[in-house]
Structure 1
Amino acid sequence: MESLLSRRALLRWTVQLSSIMILSLPLLSPDCASAQSFQIVNMAVPARSFQMVIYPIAQVKGYMKEEGLDERVIFVAPTTSIQAMLGGDVQFTGAGSSALVSMARGNTPLKVIVATNDRVLQWFVTRPEITNPKELKGKKIATTGVAAIATFMAKQVLTKHGLDGNKDVIYLDVGQGNQLAALLGGGFDAAILSVEQRYVALDKGMREMFFMGNEVKNSWGTLATTDKLIKENPKMVGGFVRATIKALRYLRQDKEGTISAMLKFSGVSRQQATRVYDDIIGTFTRNGAVDDETQRNDLNIIRQVTSSSETMPNARAYDFSFAIEADQQLNRAGWKP
């Protein structure tokens, strides 16, 4: 019991400390004088990636406060964010894929309620001397985990292009964020990279073999919450999602405003922020939802990751009703950023 209490205390301390750290950034500083009149909502983001910038935008532009919410964006690792959400310390997480894995493994009472992107923001990049997929046979590929979701997607892509994605290449876990260094170091022949890593690799002479978003039909950048919050506080969930859909619309319409937000949120250069925006703005969903086929594809990947015998039904894992309703409400009102 003492050990359990210590873990819970540590988790709360981690979330609180993360809140203090992230709220020290200018983009995310709340109006302390008025915060008491709003309901505080903790939103966990796993990284400073482009698709996550919609959440600080939703707060800074006042979309959250229009819903009576004072959003606190905090950086929390995916698995920890799921634990914090179940414990009530966090209300929402941007680690929707981790939520799906938790549902498949332990029937955790969660739902994915928003899909930020309808294409996978991962790139398969090789050393320059590799010019076609079949030359990857017997080669080493740097991943963030042999059981990572992107790795299973890569297996599908390589099989599509004439290899046995399960047997013909060697997948090695080099640790989160280390794929680029592994590729550039010469010890690996290919790597699965994020958008930011991809630019560095290309500038260093590496070759882009595939944009995964063009090869598989899956979602990316999903938002999850608990079944309990949906049942007990649908007003909060609906308001949070509506503010998020507004931020998605802002993202599409105001390029300069979004780039400025990226500079503060991610700390990247203006050149890189502009490059990212131009390359992937078309991957963002218009209403925060993806179709049934995409949901099934996502859950099929989750089945493989968790070695489950059956695929979860869509309705068990997803509830896009809040996003669809919010989009329809904004359309009826003629709302624009």
Structure 2
Amino acid sequence: MQHRYSRRSAALILATAVALPLAASLPANVQAQELTPIKFVLDWKLQGIHAWYYLAEDKGYFAQEKLAVTIDQGDGSAATVSKVMAGAYQAGFGDVNAIIQNASVKPGAAPVMVYMIYNRAPFALIVKSGSPIKSLKDLEGRTLGTPAGSAAGRMFPVMAGKSGLDVTKVKWTNVAPNLQEQLMLKDHVEGAAVFSVTSYMNLVAQGVDPDKDIRWFHFADHGVDLYGNGVMVSQQLIKEKPQAVAGLVRAINKGLRDTLADPDAAIAALLKREPLLNKELEKRRLMYTLKTVMITPEVLAAGVGDVSDERLARSIVQVKDAFELARQPAPSEIFDGRFLPPLAERKISAK
């Protein structure tokens, strides 16, 4: 993302603020007091798509930045925004489109994205491959399911608006997050608005071939040019502790790049926190996510973590129009690229 000031200069200032080493003679209890505590909330229960945070923790990347990061599970990527706004967390992994909605009505309170991870929003609508729903227009008169407050459900009108679908003719049913695929498969609902990176592997776990047994309507394939999940922080944290924000982004960036280099090590770090997870399933989920929503031509060119100014502006307009927001936030209210490491540290290659 381009800025009027020098990102390199800003990065040097921030790096200097966090790079002063602690005196070796300080006792351990004093060193511990020097760590900045950050409460970080995920978008969902532990999955392979969260592995890089724990790999970063195990490798000491947070500690190197003088951060004491506590990572909690979440209950929705849009809910991450609400939790940061409420002050329960200073940072989290959640949906940039929910930031746009909240920034429209509470510009001084909405968190700011500082490191984009899902370059392509993983929103999708799924139906069984044998369903008579073969186009988005066929959804009219149908009953769809999605968890209350889910980002996919909230963003459905964006896709509908681009496709000529009358949203007033679609009935929605709130379903439990862990049952949405199962209820669709058993015909309790005719389709489900989901996070593709979660649902794909949930279907695999239920013995369904998601490539053959399911028809996918990816929002990104139907005129929705949105970004997805990334690392967001509170405006208060940016104002009071910018060096901590820069350190958090650097540590996560290192963990993500290490995950790309060694996915098995990342999954091992995840399993240390939740041994009951299926190792092979979560690795497959991780690799599916990397392939479908993270490693895109834009990311290969601009590095992981950044956004395109023009695309972000377009996505803000899409969200504003779909939700009839009274105010259109500026891109600078949604994404702040000052804390990104240099491109050389964010550059990745196609696998």
Question: What is the CA RMSD across the aligned residues, in angstroms?
Answer: 3.3
Aligned to 1:193: 194
1:45 is the counterpart of 2:54: no
Out of 156, 170, 179, the position equivalent to 1:154 is 156
- Any idea what the Cα deviations from partners look like across 1:39-84, whole Å, max 9, x if unmatched? 3222122312444332222211111122111211123556776566
1:288 is the counterpart of 2:305: yes
Question: Would you say the 8 A contact 1:111–1:226 is kept in 2?
Answer: yes
- Any idea what the Cα deviations from partners look like across 1:239-287, whole Å, max 9, x if unmatched? 1111111112112211211222343456431221222122121332543
When residues 200 and 49 of structure 1 are mapped into structure 2, their CA distance, relative to the original with a 3 A threshold, is closer
Deviation of 1:233 (Å)? 1.4
Counterparts of 1:181 and 1:213, CA distance in 2: 24
Counterparts of 2:344 and 2:35, CA distance in 1: 22
Aligned to 1:16: none
Deviation of 1:92 (Å)? 1.0
Q: Secondary structure at the match of 2:256?
A: helix
When residues 246 and 117 of structure 1 are mapped into structure 2, their CA distance, relative to the original with a 3 A threshold, is same
- Any idea what the Cα deviations from partners look like across 1:202-240, whole Å, max 9, x if unmatched? 633641322334443212222222222212211111111
Q: Secondary structure at the match of 1:94?
A: strand
Counterparts of 1:36 and 1:248, CA distance in 2: 27
Deviation of 1:199 (Å)? 3.2
When residues 196 and 225 of structure 1 are mapped into structure 2, their CA distance, relative to the original with a 3 A threshold, is closer
Counterparts of 1:300 and 1:35, CA distance in 2: 45
Question: Would you say the 8 A contact 1:104–1:302 is kept in 2?
Answer: no
Deviation of 1:290 (Å)? 1.7
1:61 is the counterpart of 2:59: yes
Q: Secondary structure at the match of 2:231?
A: strand
Aligned to 2:282: 273
Question: Would you say the 8 A contact 1:100–1:302 is kept in 2?
Answer: yes
1:164 is the counterpart of 2:165: yes
Question: Would you say the 8 A contact 2:238–2:245 is kept in 1?
Answer: yes
Out of 195, 204, 210, the position equivalent to 2:217 is 210
| Residue segments in structure 2 that go unaligned for 5+ positions in a row | 1-27
Question: Would you say the 8 A contact 2:100–2:329 is kept in 1?
Answer: no
Out of 227, 236, 242, the position equivalent to 2:244 is 236
Aligned to 1:257: 265
- Any idea what the Cα deviations from partners look like across 1:77-104, whole Å, max 9, x if unmatched? 5677656645755321223444443322
Counterparts of 1:107 and 1:149, CA distance in 2: 20
Deviation of 1:36 (Å)? 4.3
Question: Would you say the 8 A contact 1:148–1:305 is kept in 2?
Answer: no
Q: Secondary structure at the match of 1:142?
A: strand
Counterparts of 2:140 and 2:79, CA distance in 1: 37
When residues 311 and 331 of structure 1 are mapped into structure 2, their CA distance, relative to the original with a 3 A threshold, is closer
Q: Which has the higher contact order (CA 8 A, sep 6+)?
A: 2
Aligned to 1:104: 104
Question: Would you say the 8 A contact 1:91–1:226 is kept in 2?
Answer: yes
TM-score (norm 2): 0.72
Counterparts of 1:214 and 1:35, CA distance in 2: 48
Counterparts of 1:164 and 1:331, CA distance in 2: 39
Number of residue pairs the alignment of both structures matches: 299
- Any idea what the Cα deviations from partners look like across 1:149-199, whole Å, max 9, x if unmatched? 4235434445655x5152453333324444223212312111122333333
| Residue segments in structure 1 that go unaligned for 5+ positions in a row | 1-30, 333-337
Aligned to 1:220: 228
TM-score (norm 1): 0.75
Out of 314, 317, 328, the position equivalent to 2:331 is 314
What aligned pairs does 1:6-45 form with structure 2 within 5 A after superposition? 35-45=32-42
Q: Secondary structure at the match of 1:72?
A: strand
When residues 74 and 200 of structure 1 are mapped into structure 2, their CA distance, relative to the original with a 3 A threshold, is closer
Counterparts of 1:181 and 1:291, CA distance in 2: 37
Question: Would you say the 8 A contact 2:253–2:346 is kept in 1?
Answer: no
